[in-house]
Structures are given as structure tokens and as C-alpha cells.
Structure 1
Amino acid sequence: MPVQRTWWQRHGSTTTVWSLRLLLVVVLLAGWEATAGSLFDITFTSKPSAIAERLGEWSADGTLWTHSWVTIQEIVYGFLLGALAGALAGFVLASLRTAYRVVDPFMMALYSIPKVALAPLFIVWFGIGMHMKVLLAAATVFFLVFLNTAAGVREVDRGLVDAVRLMGGTRRDIALKVVLPASMTGVLTGLKVAIPYALIGAVIGELVASNQGLGYLINDAAAQFDTAGVFATLVVLSVVAGLLNVFVGLIGRRVNRWKPVESQG
């Protein structure tokens, strides 16, 4: 007969952790508010009440929603484009050993370039519109997905491949029935890791040159020495990042489904 556990036994640990997190946030915000103007110059640090007021103003006049929607579109489009290209390139090239050995050092060299250094070149090629931010986000995502996908393909058990060959399987059978399923952990891990970098790529593009988006809001507020506006935009970016992390967690669960049961713990 299964043991009946109380609600606290089932959720007590999670509740305690979230309560402590909330308490920590409240203490930090209260301390910040109390010391602003005395220990810290609000010209440089602002204070939580001023940040909340700015968020309220931007929400009321639509500024927050307009610029947030632009950045979210850039993140989504950049992620989808970079992830699709990276997964396809990683799967195809890693399946061709000689081709992969040829392109591997070039891919690593391109991956090592700070993506912010690409922004001026992208501006020259694509202007300062949404296309530039989408492509910069896609470039950031591409290499992470490519490298993880290629690693997943190259780590496929060669014994399975040889077994399918002995049974008369074609290259297409090996690719679709052995390599693809076995490499999915690498693919999904690449997607999981790349999601936050899509946000980074999009915001970098907006910070360098833009007339809309959350990165533009940061630049505009900083140019006016509106510290509360800068912090307000950072709060919004933190919320967006938090939502992305929730999505990352869902992908993480999906990744674990492809692992042996004993390796999921």
C-alpha cells in the first residue's frame, strides 16, 4: 500500500526555496530603497520606487509593449533561423568525416569571434532594421547548435552503424534510423544552450545601432541620464530571460527522454 504523504512532505522543499528567494528579493529591494539618497547617489543608482514608476509610465503609454514586442520577434526569428541552419549543417557535415575535418578549424575560428565585433559589419550589409538583429542573433545561435549537433552525430555508437550495414541498410537508413535518433541529445542540448544567446545577439544589435527594441530603450535612457529607465529596461530583459529559462527547462526535460534511465538522475 503506497505511503500517503502530506502536502508539505511533497512540496515543502520547493516552497521553502521559493520563500527564501522572495525574502531575499524583498530584503535587497528594501535595503536599496532605504539607502538610496544617503549611501548611494540616486543619480547613478536610482531606486526601486523610481524604477517601478518608470515601468508604469512606459506600460501606460505603450512604449514598453512596443519595444518589447520588437525584441521578442528578433529573438524568436533569430533562434529559429540559427537553430535550423546549425542543426542541418551539423548533421550533414558531421556525417561526412572528411568534410567535417576540413571545416572544423574554420568553424571554431568563426565561433571564437565575439559577436559584438560582427555588429558593425552586419550594419553595413543589412542596415539597422530588424533584419540585422535577427541575423546577428541567428549567427550567435548557429555555432552553438552546430557544434552540439556535430558532437552528437560523431558520438553515435559505431557498433549500431555497422550492425545496420550488415543487415543491408543503406546510407539513408543509417542516417535516418540510427544517426538521427542517436544524435538527438546533442541537437536538443544545443537548442537548450542557444536560447539565451538569441536574446544576447538581438540586444547587442539593438545596443550598437537601432531605433526600436529594448536595447534601443537602454541607449535612449542612458543618453538622457535616465538611470531609472535603464534599470527598468534591465528588469524587462530579466523577465524575458526568465521566461526563456522556463522554456529551456522544458527542452531539458525533453533532452532527458533520449537518455538511458540510469543517466537521468
Structure 2
Amino acid sequence: MNRPLSRERRSPAPEEPTGRAQPPDELVRADRRDERRRRIVIVGGRVAIAVLVVATWQLSSDRIFPSFYVSSPLAIAQRLVDLIRTGELWPHLGQTLIEVALGMSIGVPLGAVLGIALGSSVLLGGWLLPYMMALYSLPRVVLAPLFIIWFGVGLLSKVTMVVTMVVFVVFYNVYQGVKQIDRDLLDVTRSLRATRLQTLRWVMTPSLVPWLITGVRLSIGIALIGAVIAELIAASEGLGYYIKYSSNLLDVTGVFAGLAVITAVAIALDQLLKTLERRITPR
């Protein structure tokens, strides 16, 4: 008897890949190359803009605009070199940095505590938030003469001015950060009967780090503004005092030199905080 032929079941042959997949290491290297290219393009663009502005300013001085009113980059650079060489810059720079450091060391923690307290408590937020907004709307420039009257012309009035400039920026950033925390995480902590301190340590603090760093970065320029404003009103040292002294002498080059130092300090501190943010912020 002829046996029936059995049909073997064969799985279909796998399709040949059309392209060759890159190993993970090559993908990582490609991403790093792209990131380096982007950084080069960004830095190159920044340098090109700076060179264009400075060159235009230098060529316009005494050609389009009188140098008496706008000075020139070369004259400002020469003044900065003279200030550094003679040592005249350091007492003014040191005084302003001390005021900024003390003011931020008080204003940043105070703003963070207020932001956490009002953001996490419906009752406190309902009571105090309108008053915080009312205080924030007050022009601190107008308050500077009052601080001079209350606290004198010394360091305390300048530090108070910086604190009032910084505390609201940090407060509103931290307050908004508290409102953006995942409510499911907070519900889990409540279900596990975590204390407020444990919730603050393990849930709120990691979530608020980016918001706090952003608030501090925004506060740097504002703190410098507050210190300089207070020094413009009444001081015997500081970058604001040097700017006011140069202005009284109609020394536009000195005014721009003081502004250049303030700008350089703000950029340096911002870059320092940006580096710190990359190190401690979770990715």
C-alpha cells in the first residue's frame, strides 16, 4: 500500500534585514558628535554676535555718535585694565559681591520656605498669598531710601534691599513647583502614613530642585540690581558707587566699565549655577 505523503510544516524563513543596525556604542558616539556640533554652532553664533556688536560700536564711536556720550569698547577695555592694574576695582567688586552673597543666603532659603509652606497648605495659601502678591507689586526701588533711613548707609541696608529683590523670585518658583508635584505621589505617602518631614525629604525636595535652581539663577541678576541700586543711593564702596561717582564726573567710560563688570559677574555666576544644575538635577 502506498503511504500518503505527509506535508511538513515549515516556519517561514525570516526576512533578511534591509539595513544593518548600528551598535549602541556607535549611536552614543553619533549623539555625542551631534551634541558637539550643536555646541560649536551655538558658541560660534554667540561669539559672532558679540564681535559684530563690539565692532559696530567701535566704528560708530566718534563717527556716527560722539564718544563723549557712548565711549568706545577700546576705551572701556583700557579703563578695566587700569582698574585691575591699580587695584581700584577689587574693593568695589568685593563690596558688591558681599552684599549679593549675604542677601541671597537669606533671601533664597526664606523664599523656598515660604513657597513650600504656602504651596502645601491650602489654609496658609489662602491667608497669605494675596499679601505676598501685594508686597511683590511694591517697587523696591522706592523702598531703597526707606531702607537707608531705617538701617543706615552701611551693609545692612544693602543686604535688606537684596533680600527683598530675591525672596519673591524664589518664592514664586518654589510655590509653582509645589503645585506641579504629582498628586499620586503625595497620595501614596499619605497611604503609607509618612510624616510631613519624610514627605518633604523623599518626595517634595527632589521634585523642587529644578524649580529652586531656576529661581536662584533668575535671582542672580536681580540681586546685583538690588545691590547696585542701594549703592547708587548711599554708599562709599561698591560697583554702584563707582558708577555713580563716574557719572558725577561725566565719565561715560567709567560708567560703562562698571556696567561691564556687573555683566561679567552675572554671566560667570549663571554659568556656575548651570554647571551645578547639570550635576545635581536628575535626568
Normalising by structure 2, report the TM-score: 0.81
Cross-structure match for 1:163: 188
Which residue of 1 is the match for residue 213 of structure 2?
188
In the alignment, is the contact (CA less than 8 A) between 2:210 and 2:277 conserved in 1? no
Report the Cα offset of residue 20 of structure 1: 3.8
Hey, what's the Cα distance between the residues in 2 that align with 1:180 and 1:132? 32
Aligned counterpart for 1:222 among listed residues 225, 247, 251 = 247
Q: Where do 4+ consecutive residues of structure 1 move more than 6 Å?
A: none
User: Matches of 2:227 and 2:198 in 1, distance apart?
Assistant: 39
Deviations, residues 105-157 of structure 1 (Å, cap 9, x unaligned): 00011111122111011111111212211111111111111122222223333
Equivalent position to 2:138, from 108, 113, 133: 113
Deviation at 1:243, TM superposition (A): 0.6
Offset of 1:45 from its aligned partner? 1.2
Query: Which residue pairs with 1:89 in the alignment?
Result: 114
AA partner of residue 157 (structure 1)? D
- 1:221 Cα deviation (Å)? 0.4
Question: Where is the helix percentage greater, Structure 1 or Structure 2?
Answer: 1
Question: 28, 43, 47: which is aligned to 2:68?
Answer: 43
CA shift, 1:218, in A, is 0.7
Q: Which of 153, 168, 190 is equivalent to 2:178?
A: 153
Q: 1:185 to 1:114 in 2, by over 3 A?
A: same
Is residue 2:147 matched to residue 1:141? no
Cα contact 1:144–1:193 (8 A) shared by 2: yes
Percent identity of paired positions between Structure 1 and Structure 2: 36
Structure 1 residue 66 corresponds to structure 2 residue 91: yes
Match of 1:183, SS state, is helix
Distance 2:33 2:196 in 1: 55
Shift of residue 98, structure 1, vs aligned partner: 0.6
Of the candidates 77, 95, 99, which is equivalent to residue 52 of structure 1?
Answer: 77
- 5+ residue gaps, structure 1, are none
Q: Is the 8 A contact 1:192 1:252 kept in 2?
A: no
Match of 2:225 in 1: 200
Partner Cα distance (1:208, 1:78) in 2: 18
Matched, 1:250 2:280: no
The answer to whether the 8 Å contact 2:153/2:234 transfers is yes
Task: Judge which range, 34-43 or 208-217, deviates more.
Answer: 34-43
Whether contact under 8 Å (1:188, 1:255) holds in the other structure is: no
242-251 or 210-219, which deviates more: 242-251
Aligned residue type for 1:154: K
Change beyond 3 A, Cα 1:41–1:119: same
**Kept in 2: contact 1:195–1:248 (CA 8 A):** no
2:213–2:273 contact (8 Å) kept in structure 1: no
Q: Which TM-score applies when normalising by structure 1?
A: 0.86
C-alpha deviation, 1:244, in angstroms: 2.0
How many residue pairs are counted as aligned between the two chains? 258
> Cα RMSD over matched residues?
2.5
